Structure 1
Amino acid sequence: MVSVCLSGMKKITCHIAIGAALLTSACMAQAADNYWQTIQQKGVLRCGAAVAAPYVMRDPKSGEYSGYFAELCRDFGQNVLKVKVQFVDASWDTLVAGLQSDKWDMAMALNQTPERALAIGFSAPAQDYQLSLLVNKANPKLSGAGNKIADYDKEGVTFAVMSGTAQDKAISGVVKKAKIMRLPGNDETRLALMARRADVLVDASDTNHLFAVANPDWAKEVLPSPALTKQGVSFALPRAVSEADMNVLNIYLTQRRATGDIDALVNKASLQANAGKAGAQ
């Protein structure tokens, strides 16, 4: 096939094709090296949004996004990059693929895992993530249960978890005897526990803690020992984004975390979720 490119017009065509491929590669590399500059030129920062309180929430009536990751994305876009911010509806199953296919510029509230790091880049953590269990204190199936997963991993016990999330992966890796009920959102998992269709709710410790505080008459939070998982919760960007561009976002997050700003946003979002003001779709 090489000899075809060495004669007449076919040689010229071959050179054009090679040149176009090199130009495309150069453009892609330039975009990766000037990620924020490219977004500033476009005038909009697209944030991939999968709903899970208190990280990302969406009002079902107005469609407005809230939650502490949504607030961080909005603030970073408007006050650091000086561009408009657009939230793009996503699901936990599509956040990584959508980032890779240029459907959004940043994916919000993804747990850092080495498997994901093979495909995408992670910012510095905005918060740390730990899993907990939420149970009904009066559930006879769980009488005498302590803080070991084995105390709950029994025949006839059902765990409720949001499908496609880090908590889904974590609990799926350790539960051998009990049933796992995978549901599309936080509201559905909580309702399953409240209606006693599920015996154990698996979720982030901050979310479960506030839900337990809001329902002290029946709800009890359990922190498993050893921990199921403890990971940083971060923004995700394309893996090819340069270290210099990633550092812009890292400095922003590190400073806001150090001053307590992110903790305040977490508390605000959690109270909003507990008050029933955050819809999930």
Structure 2
Amino acid sequence: MRPVVLAGLLTAVLAPAQAGRLDDIAARGVLRVGSTGDYKPFSYLQPGGEFIGMDVALAGELAQALGVRLQLVPTGWPTLMADLDADKFDLAMSGVSVTAERQRRALFSVPYLHDGKTPIARCENVARFQTLAQINQPDVRLIVNPGGTNERFARAWAPRAQLTVYPDNVTIFGRIVSGAADLMITDAVETRLQQRLHPQLCAVHPDAPFDQAEKAILLPRDTALKAYVDRWLQHRLDNGDVSRSLDRWLAFPWGLEPLRQAIDQRLLLARDVARAKWNAKAAIEDRPREEQVIAAAVRQGRGLGLPEAWIRSVFRAQIEASKTVQRELYRRWRAEDAGRFDDAPDLANTIRPELDRLTAQLLRSMADNQALLHDGGRTADVAVAMHGLQARAINPAAADQALAPFLSPD
């Protein structure tokens, strides 16, 4: 009788705690979702501080179903479980793989994706890395991100390879492109996406990965919360919402990142331009100089096959956005009776060469994405991909000015 009594006592003790998580979320009015921000297409943290991706969108839908606001909490693969244990978030959605180690400490929802580990390498090396026996060699340079299932798989199955644990899962694929590493072993869904973003790379047999794994929502040991999430997620699996969302985020214009960066960095330089002009007691507007900048951009852009009218529209918008930032700063400095800025960089020798570099990057990115940027059916995704500018925190109106030519395709 004692085991039965003990089991009944445990149920009585645990039931309030299990129901409490949903109650806590409702009382708080916020669903806290942990996300790594480094795993496209599931979660990507833009430099402007905004999360985007399939799991981010699903998290928003879950919060809406619960009738609360979504709060995305940054976490990392090495600290994911510790952050969950520390109650930094209510659950995690970031393309999290189900593992026995994680299951010993937490619960998972029903799986929403079946996947597995497979290599990605430069296309000319695909034949070299078909098997684990080929990869597990002393002359093979294998690279992985730290703390997650990729690192554990590599250490278990390729212990003889030269293993580099690289801290940034966003730029790690560039290490393979540059030749600093031979390959990475990661989830097949990620290899499919990254080969689109990096034409030099090829996924190695993504349809026949080395193992089988599932992705699911990571949950605390709370059966009431799990039951709710499972019902919610299963409905979306049954009606095809999850499949459609995955298709959307795999086809998402992630390749616009260099364009977004160029626009953002150019607008952030407006502060230095303003300080240099303030020191020189110069006017913000310099029409002859502006026309020179636009004319130079037109000459460069023609060589890339860009229409002159589009180039003029884009660069006029960048110049006007910069002036919007500068005018706001001038108003503030006049009100403060500001003096000279001793640390202001030199306009001609420091700032303008950097602006020239960003002009080349902007034009190249426009050329690489010209068809996409003129596709009216993709405007919504372009807006999401481009929205996260750090400069938006300085001047939201200027950020909107700079992006306007890309959000109204001809």
* Structure with the larger helix share: 2
Aligned to 1:257: 237
Deviation at 1:34, TM superposition (A): 3.5
Aligned to 1:54: 41
CA distance in 2, matches of 1:37, 1:110: 25
Paired amino acid for 2:136: D
Q: TM-score, normalised on structure 1?
A: 0.79
Paired amino acid for 2:220: P
CA distance 1:257–1:190, change in 2 (3 Å): same
Aligned to 1:96: 81
Structure 1: gaps spanning 5 or more residues = 1-24
Q: 3-state DSSP class of the match of 2:160? A: coil
Q: 3-state DSSP class of the match of 1:177? A: coil
Deviation at 1:45, TM superposition (A): 0.6
Q: Deviations over 1:70-110 (max 9, x none)?
A: 111111012x1100110111111111111111111111232
Paired amino acid for 2:190: T
Q: Map 1:83-162 to 2 at 5 A.
A: 83-108=68-93, 109-139=95-125, 144-145=127-128, 147-162=130-145
Aligned to 2:226: 246
Deviation at 1:272, TM superposition (A): 3.5
CA distance in 2, matches of 1:138, 1:255: 43
Aligned to 2:213: 231
Paired amino acid for 2:33: C
Of 56, 63, 67, 2:53 maps to 67
Paired amino acid for 2:23: Q
On the 8 A contact 1:148/1:225 being kept in 2, the answer is no
Deviation at 1:224, TM superposition (A): 7.6
Paired amino acid for 2:135: Y
Q: 3-state DSSP class of the match of 1:104? A: coil
On the 8 A contact 1:149/1:224 being kept in 2, the answer is no
Structure 2: gaps spanning 5 or more residues = 1-11, 258-384, 389-410
CA distance in 1, matches of 2:187, 2:253: 16
Aligned to 1:8: none
CA distance 1:223–1:123, change in 2 (3 Å): same
Paired amino acid for 1:185: D
Paired amino acid for 1:30: P
Query: C-alpha root-mean-square deviation of aligned residues, in Å?
Result: 2.5
CA distance in 2, matches of 1:266, 1:224: 16
Aligned to 1:273: 254
Structure with larger RCO (C-alpha < 8 A, sep 6+)? 1
Deviation at 1:43, TM superposition (A): 0.8
On the 8 A contact 2:188/2:206 being kept in 1, the answer is no
CA distance in 1, matches of 2:215, 2:97: 5
* Structure with the larger strand share: 1
On the 8 A contact 1:47/1:86 being kept in 2, the answer is yes
CA distance in 1, matches of 2:166, 2:178: 14
Q: 3-state DSSP class of the match of 1:267? A: helix
Deviation at 1:215, TM superposition (A): 4.2
Paired amino acid for 2:53: G
Q: Map 1:24-35 to 2 at 5 A.
A: 30-35=16-21
Count the aligned residue pairs: 247
On the 8 A contact 2:141/2:182 being kept in 1, the answer is yes
CA distance in 1, matches of 2:26, 2:161: 50
Larger Rg: 2
